[in-house]
Amino acid sequence: MQNRVLLTQRPNNKGFTIKEILMVACAFLVITAALTPLVNMARSRSMRFHCVNNLRSISLGLHAYAADHKDNFPATLGELYPQYVDSEKYFDCPAARGIGTKVKPDYKYIAGLTESSPSKETIVEDLDGNHGKRWKNILKVDGSIVH
C-alpha cells in the first residue's frame, strides 16, 4: 500500500521544461563567449609560430644558397625552391589571406644583399597586413628573427 501512495504523489516528469532548456542554453552562451577570445589568441600565436618557422627555413635556404654562389643571396625567394627549401609551403604565411607561392610569396624579400651585408640588415619580412597591425616578423641577414 505504501508503494502505491508514493507512485501517485510523484509528479509526471517526462522531459525538460522550457525554463531548464533556456538556462542550459544561456550557460552555454556565457561559456562560449568567455572562451572565444582565448581560442582566437591561441590561433593567432599558432600562426605567428608557424610564420617564424617558415622564416627560419627560408634563412637556412638563403645561407645555403649563398654558400654555393660566392656569398650572394638569390635575386628572388623563389630561386630557393626546390634545391634549398624542400617545400613551397615556406613561402606561405598562415596568417595571410592568400596562399603564398615561390612566384608570389607572402614575404617581402630585399634583393641585392650578400653574406657580408650588415648582420642586422632586414632581408625578409612579413608583407603588411599578414598579422594585422599588431606585429610583423622580420628576418635579419644574420638569421635572427625580430617580432
pTM score > 0.85 for this model? no
The number of angstroms, rounded, from the C-alpha of 102 to the middle of its chain's C-alpha atoms is 19
Q: Measured between alpha carbons, how far is 147 from 111 in angstroms, rounded to an integer?
A: 21
Q: Measured between alpha carbons, how far is 73 from 123 in angstroms, rounded to an integer?
A: 10
Q: Measured between alpha carbons, how far is 61 from 12 in angstroms, rounded to an integer?
A: 73
Task: Tell me the pLDDT of the chain (147 aa) as tens digits.
Answer: 555 555 555 566 678 899 999 999 999 999 999 989 988 888 888 888 999 999 999 999 999 999 999 999 999 999 999 999 999 999 999 999 899 999 999 999 999 999 999 999 999 999 998 988 878 999 999 999 998
Residue 23 phi, psi dihedral angles, 5° rounding: -65, -40
What does the block give as the cell for 93? Answer: 604565411
Per domain, the residue ranges of the chain are 15-146
Tell me which residue of 124, 128, 59, 140 sits closest to 95, measured CA to CA: 128
